[in-house]
C-alpha cells in the first residue's frame, strides 16, 4: 500500500548547525511532496513543497531535494535557530488525491 517512511524520528543540533530530514515513498505516481512544521500544541503548517518536475527548491534557510528515481526526498535547514524546534512531517500525494504523511521528526535546536 501507499507508505511514507521518515528518518530520523528525533534530531538534536546546535544552533547554527544544519539539519537534514529524509523521507522515502512507495507510490511511483506521487507527484507532490510538501513539508509541514508543527509546533507544540499548534496545527501543522506548510513550510515548503516540491513537485515532481523539479529536483530542488529553496526558500531562505530551507531547501528540499527530490530524487524520483530513488523515490526519496529530503528537507535541509541551514543556520538553525531555536525557533526551528518543532516536529516536521513530510508527505507525498497519493493516486487517490490525499496526502500520506511520514511519522514525523522532532527537531531540537540547542542554543
Partner 1 sequence: GAGVSQSPSNKVTEKGKDVELRCDPISGHTALYWYRQSLGQGLEFLIYFQGNSAPDKSGLPSDRFSAERTGGSVSTLTIQRTQQEDSAVYLCASSLARANYGYTFGSGTRLTVV
Question: Which residues make up the interface to partner 1 (CB under 8 A)?
Answer: 31-32, 34, 36, 42-46, 49, 51, 89, 93-94, 96-104
Q: Which long-range contacts (CB under 8 A, 24 or more apart) does 46-52 make?
A: 47/88, 48/75
Q: Which is nearer to partner 1, 34 or 84 (CB)?
A: 34
CB of 83 to partner 1, least distance (A): 20
Separation CA 45–CA 21 (nearest Å): 17
CB of 16 to partner 1, least distance (A): 28
Backbone angles phi, psi at 60, to 5 degrees: 60, -115
Q: Which is nearer to partner 1, 78 or 99 (CB)?
A: 99
Judge contact between 8 and 21, C-beta under 8 A: yes
Q: Which is nearer to partner 1, 31 or 78 (CB)?
A: 31
Amino acid at each position: 500500500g501507499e507508505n511514507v517512511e521518515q528518518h530520523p524520528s528525533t534530531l538534536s543540533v546546535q544552533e547554527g548547525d544544519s539539519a537534514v530530514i529524509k523521507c522515502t515513498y512507495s507510490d511511483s505516481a506521487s507527484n507532490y511532496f510538501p513539508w509541514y512544521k508543527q509546533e507544540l500544541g499548534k496545527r501543522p503548517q506548510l513550510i515548503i513543497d516540491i513537485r515532481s518536475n523539479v529536483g530542488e527548491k529553496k526558500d531562505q534557510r530551507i531547501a528540499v531535494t527530490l530524487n524520483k528515481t530513488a523515490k526519496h526526498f529530503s528537507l535541509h535547514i541551514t543556520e538553525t535557530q531555536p525557533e526551528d524546534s518543532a516536529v516536521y512531517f513530510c508527505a507525498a500525494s497519493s493516486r487517490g488525491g490525499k496526502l500520506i504523511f511520514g511519522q514525523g521528526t522532532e527537531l531540537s535546536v540547542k542554543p
